[in-house]
Chain A
């Protein structure tokens, strides 16, 4: 945390917020939770990357994507393909009819590694692909749609349809993708066993570090001129266009950025949980990721992390003890957060808690994204 003190893009209260979150994630949770529970938190935090992307894309730029699971999944699958290839070395798979290819391909009578799997033999290429593939995909979708001034509701529906298509495709092409089970039985990363408790703890801290890097990036985007254009675009798109900005380019950029953030989350998910499956790609997970962001407050970068942790913690504890209640609770949460708390936890914090804590709000919070409700 080198940003304490004077910083060119973080306000004082942001620094305090980041430090508090850092203490919580780096010190408090690892000390208080056992290894098993900490792995859960690590898993939740991978969704926080998606929520972070949604804050930028939906909260600030007003673009609601219901297909973030696609990018989460693409990132996760890229990582899973690398790990799977490493786990399917020739000596590990010598009982197969074709040794050296992943087991599910062998079960589906595929005798040669498909071409799009080949780059994933290389670790550097995999790392590039994790960010580049989803970002490129987002670029194609965004470019095609924003250039034609498709937005709002239509964009949401089409991204949702894309999530549906990708899920059906992955499930249907079992031989190439592992089908409904996904890519399972992942063992080592560059020779390092990721299944041990010690490895999972290390991965937790890697995940936290990456998350903070992404949070700082998000703050940077938010405070830059770009961030202000995004907000202006959300509130009065035509005026920004008349001022000479190419609105579509900004939208494409922020959509790609959100996709890349989701993909990093997906890759960390694969590493920590040890598999990737289409159940994290489809319509339902994609829209659940929106609710993480909405609960935290669609305009609050840190709120997205808290929202994700809270909703997932509630999901895990409710589905353990009262599985029937969870869907009712989640449904109620969707409705409540829209009707009663459109700014989520962050809104509650800013209205009720922050004014009583003078040291946090030396100046009145003048968030550039205020009054989101007016956004169409």
Chain B
């Protein structure tokens, strides 16, 4: 399949597809970060994660509309405000869901799966009824449009670069929060031994609620970033949920580095193959590869030893 292309063309193809893969990587990683916190740290399967992401995307869309109509002079920076609003909206919804539903189910992980699937159906229908079934897209501010030409054959989009930068920033923030702050220490303590954590005075219920809220909030930010590169519809979240779970499981559920590495591997494999095969076959082969590796190595790529 390589014979039709010259060597420099092949190089450019790999760079361009690699770049497309990096954008996919950013989306995967942003979604997987929230899930890695909720699933990896708390052991809760949140099938509605995609819908929390879509909520963030809708918030971003409405913020952009608001700025477009009332504050056109500040349109260039609307995205940063939208991102904060998306975080707050998704996080608040997440905390409400934790309080109403998830906290009753911590001992039954398989049942959280079904309950959150129900939640995702409800949210999808609510989005469809409230925001309409049509896909919506935001208008990008001027500085985010266009692309950089690195060579004749290679060009990269600025919005893609922006999403990547954002992903890196959020990943670093999450890593600091989880591994360098006292709150992160409390979260990890609760994960490792809930009873003992409670005994030394950590309010485990509060930690649970905040952790779940944080995971959902990050999903909201992911949705916000997602609007920069794609359009949003009521069911868009469901398209990503399986991939995201595979990313988290493949990386090793408790490991942040693992999540990053697996998001990178999966997205690069998929986008590189997409050029040579049809999109569906690329996806099939990637997912199949992940499934087979997981069958051989069920603990995922990176393992942190936790005493259970």
Whether B246 contacts A157 by the Cβ 8 Å rule is yes
Of the 9-residue stretches A111-119, A263-271, A334-342, A359-367, which lies at the interface with chain B?
Answer: A334-342
Residues of A within 8 A of B296 (CB): 144, 148
Contacting pair A328 B125 (CB below 8 A): yes
* B101:A335 contact, CB within 8 angstroms: yes
CA distance A327 to B121 in the complex (A): 6
Q: Which of A148, A162, A330, A338 contacts B121 (CB 8 A)?
A: A330
User: How many Å from the CB of A323 to the closest CB on chain B?
Assistant: 10
Within 8 A of A (CB), among B103-124: 104-105, 107-115, 117-124
Q: A132 an interface residue at 8 Å Cβ cutoff?
A: no
Q: Is B288 an interface residue (CB 8 A)?
A: yes
Query: Among A141, A327, A338, which residue has its beta carbon within 8 angstroms of that of B115?
Result: A338
| Cβ contact within 8 Å between B111 and A154 | no
A134 to B245, CA, bound (A): 25
Write the chain A residue with the least CB distance to B118. A334
Which residues of chain A have C-beta atoms less than 8 A from B113's C-beta? 64, 66, 153, 156
Interface stretch, picked from A22-30, A80-88, A217-225, A287-295, is A287-295
Interchain CB contact (< 8 A) of B109 among A153, A164, A294: A153
Q: Give a binary string over B118-144; 1 marks a CB under 8 Å from any A CB, 0 the rest.
A: 111111111011000000000000000
Task: Report chain B residues within 8 Å CB of A150.
Answer: 294-295, 298
Contact partner of B104 (CB less than 8 A), chosen from A283, A333, A337, A339, is A339
Q: Is the CB of B110 within 8 A of A162?
A: no
Contact A160 B242 (CB under 8 A): yes
Which of B84-92, B195-203, B222-230, B279-287 interfaces with chain A? Answer: B279-287
Taken together as a complex, chains A and B put the C-alpha atoms of A21 and B126 apart, in Å, by 38
Which residue of the partner chain, among B101, B108, B120, B287, contacts A161 with CB atoms under 8 Å? B287
**Chain A, 148-192, contact with B by CB distance < 8 Å: what is the 0/1 string?**
111011101110111011001101100000000000000000000
Asked if B114 and A338 sit within 8 Å, CB to CB, the answer is yes
Number of interface residues of A (CB under 8 A): 45
Contact B122 A376 (CB under 8 A): no
Task: Evaluate whether A172 and B125 lie within 8 angstroms (CB atoms) in the complex, with A64-B113, A161-B287 already known.
Answer: no
Partner of A338, one of B105, B281, B283, B291: B105
Taking the closest CB of chain A, its distance from the CB of B71, in whole angstroms, is 35
B298 and A148 within 8 A (CB): yes
Asked if B249 is at the interface (CB within 8 A of a chain A CB), the reply is: yes
Shortest C-beta distance, A315 to chain B (Å), equals 12
Q: Which residues of A contact B43 (CB under 8 A)?
A: 153
Interface check B278, CB cutoff 8 A: yes
- Give the docked Cα–Cα distance between A160 and B125 (Å): 22
Contact A154 B298, CB 8 Å, known A161-B287, A335-B118, A339-B115: yes
Chain A residues with CB under 8 Å of B238's CB are 283
Q: A330-B121, A334-B121, A342-B111 are in contact. Are A172 and B278 (CB under 8 A)?
A: yes
In the complex, whether B20 has a CB less than 8 A from a CB of chain A is: no
Residue in B closest to A290 when the chains form the complex, CB atoms: B114
Interface membership of B24, Cβ < 8 A: no
Expressed in whole angstroms, the minimum distance between the Cβ of B142 and any Cβ of chain A is 38
Structural contact, B108 and A334, CB atoms closer than 8 A: no
Tell yes or no: A331 within 8 A of B by CB.
yes
What mask results when residues 40 to 51 of chain A are scored 1 for a CB within 8 Å of chain B, else 0?
A: 000000000000
A residues 275-302 touching B (CB-CB < 8 Å): 283, 287, 290-291, 294
> Once the chains bind, are A152 and B298 in contact (CB under 8 Å)?
no
A338–B122 CB distance below 8 A? no
Answer yes or no: A324 CB below 8 A from chain B CBs. yes
- B291 / chain A contacts, CB cutoff of 8 Å: 158, 161-162, 165
Q: State the Cβ distance, B216 to closest chain A Cβ, in Å.
A: 17
A199–chain B nearest beta-carbon distance, Å: 36
A66 and chain B: residue at smallest CB distance: B113
Q: Are A333 and B249 in touch, CB under 8 angstroms? A: no
As a 0/1 sequence over residues 286 to 308 of chain B, the CB contacts with chain A under 8 angstroms (1 = contact) are: 01101100111010000000000
Q: Contact: B284 with A169, CB < 8 Å?
A: yes
- Cβ–Cβ < 8 Å partners of B118 in chain A: 330-335, 338
Contact residues in A for B246 (Cβ distance below 8 Å): 157, 161
- Report the Cα distance A231→B246, complex, angstroms: 29
Is B187 engaged at the interface, CB distance under 8 Å to the other chain? no
Asked whether A157 lies within 8 Å of B245 as measured between CB atoms, the reply is yes
Q: Is the CB of A331 within 8 A of B294?
A: no
Whether A324 pairs with B110 at a CB distance below 8 angstroms is no
User: B120: which A residues are within 8 A, CB to CB?
Assistant: 331
Closest to A151 in B: B298
Q: Which residues of B contact A291 (CB under 8 A)?
A: 114
Residues in A whose Cβ lies below 8 Å from that of B101: 335, 339
B45 at the interface (CB under 8 A from A): yes
Answer whether residue A210 sits at the interface, using C-beta atoms and an 8 A cutoff: no
Residues in B neighbouring A334, C-beta threshold 8 A? 114-115, 117-119, 121
**Contact call A331/B119, Cβ cutoff below 8 A:** yes
Instruction: Say yes or no: is A1 at the interface (Cβ < 8 Å to chain B).
Output: no
User: How far is B238's CA from A290's CA once the two chains are assembled, in angstroms?
Assistant: 18
- Evaluate contact between B122 and A331: CB separation under 8 angstroms: yes
Residue in A153, A165, A294, A342 whose CB lies within 8 Å of B288: A165
- A145 at the B interface (CB under 8 A): yes
Verify B122–A327 contact, CB threshold 8 A: yes
Q: Residue on B with the closest CB to A282?
A: B242
Chain A residue numbers with a CB within 8 Å of B125 are 324, 327-328, 331
- Type the 1/0 row for A129-150, where 1 means its CB is closer than 8 Å to any CB of B: 0000000000001001100111
Q: 16 A-B pairs, CB-CB below 8 angstroms?
A: A141-B295, A152-B109, A153-B109, A154-B249, A162-B291, A168-B283, A171-B280, A172-B280, A172-B281, A287-B114, A291-B114, A294-B114, A328-B125, A331-B119, A338-B105, A376-B109
Binding site for B on A (CB under 8 A): 64, 66, 141, 144-145, 148-150, 152-154, 156-158, 160-162, 164-165, 168-169, 171-172, 283, 287, 290-291, 294, 324, 327-328, 330-335, 337-339, 342, 373-376
Known: A172-B280, A337-B114. 19 other contacts (CB 8 A): A148-B295, A152-B109, A153-B113, A156-B45, A156-B110, A157-B45, A157-B249, A161-B242, A161-B287, A161-B290, A165-B284, A165-B287, A331-B117, A331-B118, A334-B117, A334-B119, A338-B112, A342-B111, A374-B107
